[in-house]
Structure 1
Amino acid sequence: MKRLLPIVSVLLLILFPSVGFAEETKESQGITENEKRAGFTVQAVLPENQVNDRVSFYHLLMQPEQAQTVQVKIFNTSEKKQTYRVEVINAATNRNGLITYDERDKKPDASMKLPITKVAKPKNKEVSVDAYSEGKAEVIIQTPAEAFQGILLGGIRISLKSDDSEEESQGMSVKNTYGYAIGLVLTEQDHAPVYGETDLKLTKVQPEVDYGSKVLEASIQNPYPEAMEDLVAEGKIVRKGQKKALAKNKLESVKIAPNSIFPFQIDWGMLEVSAGEYTFIGTVKGKTKSWSFKQDFTITRQLAKKMNEQTAFRIFIPSWWTTSFYAVGTITAIVTAWLIIRLVKRKKGREIREKE
């Protein structure tokens, strides 16, 4: 069972410039409704080595063996002193085709040689700020001696610390708290693009139950240190050797984090899964390239039974209903045949009488 995440972001601040990053502060723009609920807001303090100062996330040009500390302002807009958790989390790609910074326990993809969590770490894991005051969180960046290619991508998460910290650390708490994530992009080449379309690979397909739904998950890998955007992903499940789609899915405006797996899912729907040989057929289209995938997979009787039993929503057809359906169908056919025969006999009788 997947671990319950204790933090739910109501204002997830995405990496890219189309979305602002806590640009409104109490002093400048007034407090928004979401900020009132959260009780705080944050703002990135962009350093001199910021590649693009027109955006509100960190995009830093680094050098090998460079040490640097970046700051995040925290504005406590509540009437009491609050404590905030400070984390650096690797960028990941979720099943909806979005780049996220909340999968703190997810193991980095095998293609990721240097996770950003190895390079950037919070100076203090917790920061307290007095009521109606401004504080700061600091993140220490230390690049290795060996140069890295492309970009490293992650997020600096600032979240309100729960009162029940012990349960939260054990993954037992389901209490919602508020948090912000500010994108952190590191590069050592001033020409390295944030986005690219080098290649995608299908690493595996796996039938499983995810959050109570029977799905086929196709793991589509971006093995390069560049993000992808504006992709269209389509896929379908067919019986092996056939063309008719048993289930299909399409996602638009897909983004994929660098060196990550995009878990593209196809929902089987409400009907039960049967054992047999199947094929996944999928495509991903970008601005300049497209990729086609095809892979066979097998669902054993044991796996089919397990998937059907673990599904939260199923259609049950009682045996009596099936028996009644066939009985009613048989009776209907007999009555229909009898009416047709009777009609034919009457017509013939009428024709004989007319001749006479």
Structure 2
Amino acid sequence: MKQKKLIGIVFICSLFFIATGKVDATSGGHGFSVTPINKNKNSIRAGYFEIETKPDKQEVLSVKITNGSDNDMKIKVELNNATTNDNGITAYDATTKKDTTLKTGFSDIATIKEDTVLVKKDSSTVVDIKVSTPKEQFDGVILGGLRFSDVETEKKSTKETSAVSNNISYVIGVVLQETPKPIIPKMALNKVGADQRNYRNYISANLQNTEPVIIKELSAHAKVTKKGDTMVLYEASKNKMRMAPNSNFNFGINLENQALIPGKYLMDISGESDGIPYSFTKEFEIQKKEANDLNENSVFIKKENNTWLYVFIILGLIIVIGLIIYLIYRKSKQKRIEEGENVNEE
């Protein structure tokens, strides 16, 4: 029971972060809203679905879409797996690649008759999402999200170049569980290397939650040293992150305005996942071309202006060449003078 409450609290928090930063999109009225419908007792917890199910069973999740605007709206419905973004927050992004440890994702077992629903102005419609659980019993949880967005405003937002968009989307979370068997989180460290986000250079470590369990509180401290040296060159720490089951994300060390330097390095990263400590060390290399390309593309690294250096070099060469020519000419003239004197003496 305690485990369910904790999952619920964390899930509500994750939905809060999904809503943060969204702007209500309207079509001449009040836009649209979504509401989960409780057809099954105890299946809804504070706005999301929590289903205790069994193997090889079909569940139906019903959601009411209300169009409060003055125009008809086409609402896109996506059935997405839970992922973890690079800020350490649970997300439901359809473009995120499925984690290698995720055997059965929500998108594998959920279906909808039509992924675009027409909702008439000032009216409501109910959509049903069918979930067919695997034939074999699964441990832990399957976590997913039902994402609803207005087709027209989403089309417009993809064409906009400004940072602020009028696109709005709602996510209703879905937690599926068959057994109360507790799952212990297990972390893994995958690739480490140079990266760039929003034109800033990073050194990123791909952390992975390999188990079907929500990590409610994750901390990480990373430091980078040159291979064979003990001096810490870069480091970063972050607490109170969360991870979706069987997901991964890139924990980054922001280099601010520092340029990447080619070479071989060591990454040491440690922390706790729900109180369980983890620690990894991994060697990685930054290639010269990679460093040059990322440094050149970064707008935060102060580029050296070598114009005057080139001018001084060219002027120096001109002076040296001129001096050599003058010395040759002077020596030649002197030689001619000496030869002329000898002739007169004869």
- Relative to the length of structure 1, the TM-score reads 0.74
Q: 1:41 to 1:192 in 2, by over 3 A?
A: farther
Partner of 2:291: 304
1:188 matched to 2:173: no
Q: 1:16 aligns with which of 7, 11, 24?
A: 11
Partner of 1:112: 102
Secondary structure of the corresponding residue to residue 302 of structure 1 = helix
| Structure whose CA Rg is larger | 2
Q: 1:105 to 1:230 in 2, by over 3 A?
A: same
Secondary structure of the corresponding residue to residue 103 of structure 2 = coil
Partner of 2:222: 235
Partner of 1:209: 196
Partner of 1:62: 53
Partner of 2:343: none
Q: List gaps (5 residues or longer) in structure 1.
A: 1-13, 22-32, 324-356
Q: 1:136 to 1:109 in 2, by over 3 A?
A: same
Q: 1:274 to 1:87 in 2, by over 3 A?
A: same
Instruction: State, as a whole percentage, how many aligned pairs show the same letter.
Output: 27
Distance in 1, matches of 2:12 and 2:181, equals: 17
Q: Report Cα offsets for 1:181-221 as digits up to 9, x if no partner.
A: 111111222x146xx54210112212122332211121111
Is residue 185–residue 215 contact of structure 2 (8 Å, CA) maintained in 1?
no
Q: 1:321 to 1:280 in 2, by over 3 A?
A: farther
Q: Report Cα offsets for 1:310-346 as digits up to 9, x if no partner.
A: 22322123236889xxxxxxxxxxxxxxxxxxxxxxx
Secondary structure of the corresponding residue to residue 295 of structure 1 = strand
Distance in 2, matches of 1:133 and 1:305, equals: 57
Distance in 2, matches of 1:180 and 1:77, equals: 15
Partner of 1:80: 71
Distance in 2, matches of 1:203 and 1:270, equals: 26
Q: 1:321 to 1:136 in 2, by over 3 A?
A: farther
1:288 matched to 2:283: no
How far 1:65 sits from its partner (Å)? Answer: 1.6
Q: Point out the structure with the larger helix share.
A: 2
Partner of 1:339: none
CA RMSD of superposed structures (Å): 2.9
Partner of 1:337: none
How far 1:163 sits from its partner (Å)? Answer: 6.5
Secondary structure of the corresponding residue to residue 69 of structure 1 = strand
How far 1:79 sits from its partner (Å)? Answer: 1.6
How far 1:254 sits from its partner (Å)? Answer: 0.4
Partner of 1:340: none
1:97 matched to 2:88: yes
Distance in 2, matches of 1:321 and 1:271, equals: 23
Partner of 1:200: 187
Partner of 2:40: 48
AA in 2 matched with 1:16: F
AA in 2 matched with 1:306: D
Moved more, 78-87 or 204-213: 204-213
Secondary structure of the corresponding residue to residue 304 of structure 1 = helix
Q: List gaps (5 residues or longer) in structure 2.
A: 1-8, 17-21, 311-346
How far 1:61 sits from its partner (Å)? Answer: 1.3
Distance in 2, matches of 1:237 and 1:321, equals: 36
1:162-173 to structure 2, matched below 5 A, reads: 162=152
Distance in 1, matches of 2:239 and 2:124, equals: 40
Is residue 15–residue 184 contact of structure 1 (8 Å, CA) maintained in 2?
no
AA in 2 matched with 1:256: M
Partner of 2:322: none
Is residue 15–residue 173 contact of structure 2 (8 Å, CA) maintained in 1?
no
How far 1:34 sits from its partner (Å)? Answer: 5.3
Partner of 2:115: 125
